[in-house]
Amino acid sequence: MDVVIAPFTEEQVESINAFQGDGSWHPFTCPKCGTRLKASAVTIQCYGCGKYMQTWVHKFMADWSWRDPKYFPGDWVGKEGEGHDEKR
Ligand SMILES: [Zn+2]
């Protein structure tokens, strides 16, 4: 699956954080404390414990593709490792 590496553009940050807060899909969460990660221009990170950050997101999270159910693969949960341990 395609990924987008930081730094993120303003529009990508907007899309990522909308995705993270939407609740329709499983968001990236902190592996240490479970808080939803929040994107900024340089990273997507945990503001709960402040001890976790990563510098990539899935491409569909950053370009609003996640809003289109036809585009969304739907089977990515658990395949990429970190942050995908919870199931809805
Ligand atoms: Zn945390």
Q: What is the mean pLDDT of each run of 10 residues along the chain (88 residues)?
A: 95 97 89 97 97 96 86 52 45
pLDDT at 1: 77
Distance CA 47, CA 37 (A): 7
**Is 75 part of a structural domain of the chain?**
no
pLDDT given at position 68: 80
Q: How many domains does the chain have?
A: 1
Instruction: Give the distance (Å) from ligand 1 centre to CA of residue 14.
Output: 21
Cis-peptide into 27, omega within 30 deg: no
Predicted local distance difference test score (pLDDT) of residue 73: 58
Residue 49: predicted pLDDT: 97
- The whole-number pLDDT of residue 57 equals 97
- Nearest Cα neighbor of 15 from 68, 78, 52 is 68
Is 79 within a domain? Answer: no
CA of 37 to the centre of ligand 1 (A): 8
> What is the C-alpha separation between 74 and 26, in angstroms, rounded?
10
pTM of the model: 0.77
Instruction: Flag whether 53 is in a domain.
Output: yes
Cα of 66 vs centre of ligand 1, distance in Å, is 24
- Phi, psi values for residue 19, rounded to 5°: -60, -45
Rounded to the nearest angstrom, the distance between the alpha carbon of 45 and the centre of ligand 1 is 8
Residue 52 belongs to what domain range? 3-67
CA of 33 to the centre of ligand 1 (A): 4
Q: Is 39 helix (H, G, I), strand (E, B) or coil?
A: strand
Task: Assess if residue 73 is contained within a domain.
Answer: no
